Structure formats: structure tokens, C-alpha cells
């Protein structure tokens, strides 16, 4: 391996990984497992989620998932998701990446594109403008789209929740969730450099191995560490 093997790697900044997909696809579980796998090789990663992830954004999450904003329509919901995202990016994601931490986020801009854009029929130019305002250049390096039949994901989400009330989006009918699945797949197809589709209709450990193989192939955590002078050269 030449001494220039790490040339071009911006190791001053952490890497930004997002998980996307339908309800109960296993995003939170896999975000946690990925952070643990990264920690094992010496990469410090913050795990976070949307909506939420920062103090004010968590309060907006309550408003969104309780259905408080729903009567105002999908465009108003998109505005509130974006407001939460501004706080989250400014207070958690951007500073963490700048300090050299990796960030693993359970849902991000693709959820707005899919739920409010594709399914809510919010004008794509509004979705794009909100995204630009909220995120700027703080874009994911890798987005893992967890794909599985919606009924499997909804059954998992229901088992975890128990007999409690379903949230704003879980209560939608089967056609909504099928369309959602198609919307995420279309996003992945439109941006193949950033997005990887993984088959989430499998057990947690198998899925975690598949995700680790995508992350090592695309983001090269050991090389990133080596470029920082913190680890041996490798995958």
C-alpha cells in the first residue's frame, strides 16, 4: 500500500450515516448496532434520531407524532419537521461532525421527501427549499434504506409498542405504507452514490453484518482512522 493511500480522505470531519425506511424496519436497532461495531474498531459515533435529537426538536417531535400538527396539512408538517431539523443540525449533528465524531441518525431528510413529499404531495420545490435551509452542506455521506414488506415492519412496531395507541403515521392504511416503500426505493435509485438498499426482512444479526459490510466498503472506517493517525491502515 503506498504512503498516499489515505490521500484525499478528509479525516478532520466525522462521517454522517442515516437510516431510512418504513415503520418498524429496524432502524433504531441497527443504528445502535452500527455505533457498537464502530466503537469496537475505535470510531466514536453519536447516535441520534429525527424528528428530535436535540432539546427543542424533541418537543417538536411530541407535537408531530401526537397529531397536533396534522390538521394543518402536510405542508405545515413539513415546515415543523424542518424547524426541528434546523435545531438538530445546528446543535448536535454539525458540531459533532466538525469535532471528528461520526453521527448515525435514525431518519433524516429522506423521510421528509417520502412522507411529506411523495405521500403528502407537498410541492417538491418547497421540500427542496426546506432541505437546503435546514441542512445546507451537512448532507449524509451514506444512507442505508432498510427495505421490507410494510406488514412485517408494522407488526414489529406493534409488538414493541404493546397495546398503546398508534402514532400519527403508523395508523395509515396498507396502501400508504406500500407507497412509502416505493418512495424510499425511488430515492435510493435516484442517488445510488449516497444510498444503499438493504434487505431488512431478516434477523437482527444478519442485517447488522450486511450493514457493516456496506459501511466498511463505502466509508472505510479503518482508513479514516489511519488518516487521523489513530489506527492501523485497513478496510
- Report DSSP state, residue 93: I
Please tell me the distance from the alpha carbon of residue 235 to that of residue 224, in angstroms, as a whole number.
9
129: its cell numbers: 427549499
- One residue of 44, 151, 199, 204 binding ligand T5A per CB under 6 A: 204
- One residue of 29, 47, 48, 54 binding ligand T5A per CB under 6 A: 29
Beta-carbon contacts of 175 under 8 Å, excluding residues fewer than 6 positions away, are: none
Answer yes or no whether residue 74 interacts with ligand T5A by CB under 6 A.
Answer: no
Unique residue bearing C-alpha cell 434546523: 86
Helix, strand or coil for residue 102? strand
Answer yes or no whether residue 26 interacts with ligand T5A by CB under 6 A.
Answer: yes
Nearer to ligand T5A, 47 or 112 (CB): 112
- One residue of 10, 175, 193, 203 binding ligand T5A per CB under 6 A: 203
The closest alpha carbon to 70, from 192, 167, 150, 196, belongs to 167
Peptide bond into 167 cis (omega under 30): no
Contact flags string 169-198 toward ligand T5A, x per CB under 6 A: x-----------------------------
> Near ligand T5A by CB under 6 A, which window of 7-15, 95-103, 201-209, 218-226?
201-209
**What residues from 97 to 136 belong to the interface with ligand T5A (CB under 6 A)?**
106-107, 111-112, 115-116
The backbone torsions φ and ψ at residue 230, rounded to the nearest 5 degrees and listed phi first, read -115, 5
Q: What residue ranges bind ligand T5A (CB under 6 A)?
A: 23-29, 50-51, 65, 81, 106-107, 111-112, 115-116, 156-157, 159-160, 167, 169, 203-204, 207
Amino acid at each position: 500500500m503506498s504512503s498516499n493511500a489515505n490521500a484525499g480522505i478528509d479525516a478532520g470531519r466525522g462521517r454522517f450515516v442515516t437510516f431510512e425506511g418504513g415503520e418498524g424496519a429496524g432502524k433504531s436497532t441497527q443504528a445502535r448496532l452500527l455505533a457498537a461495531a464502530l466503537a469496537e474498531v475505535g470510531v466514536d459515533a453519536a447516535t441520534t434520531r429525527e424528528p428530535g435529537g436535540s432539546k427543542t426538536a424533541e418537543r417538536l417531535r411530541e407535537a408531530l407524532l401526537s397529531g397536533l400538527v396534522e390538521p394543518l396539512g402536510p405542508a405545515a408538517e413539513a415546515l415543523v419537521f424542518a424547524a426541528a431539523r434546523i435545531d438538530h443540525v445546528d446543535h448536535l449533528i454539525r458540531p459533532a461532525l466538525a469535532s471528528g465524531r461520526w453521527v448515525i441518525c435514525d431518519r433524516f431528510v429522506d423521510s421528509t421527501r417520502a412522507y411529506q413529499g411523495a405521500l403528502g404531495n407537498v410541492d417538491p420545490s418547497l421540500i427542496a427549499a426546506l432541505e437546503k435551509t435546514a441542512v445546507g452542506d451537512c448532507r449524509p455521506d451514506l444512507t442505508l434504506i432498510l427495505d421490507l414488506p410494510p406488514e412485517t415492519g408494522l407488526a414489529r412496531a406493534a409488538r414493541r409498542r404493546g397495546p398503546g395507541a398508534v402514532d400519527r403515521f403508523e395508523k395509515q392504511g396498507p396502501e400508504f405504507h406500500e407507497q412509502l416503500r416505493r418512495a424510499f426505493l425511488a430515492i435510493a435509485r435516484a442517488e445510488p452514490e449516497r444510498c444503499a438498499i438493504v434487505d431488512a426482512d431478516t434477523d437482527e444479526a444478519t442485517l447488522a453484518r450486511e450493514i457493516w459490510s456496506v459501511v466498511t466498503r463505502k466509508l472505510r472506517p479503518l482508513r479514516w482512522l489511519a488518516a487521523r493517525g489513530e489506527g492501523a491502515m485497513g478496510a
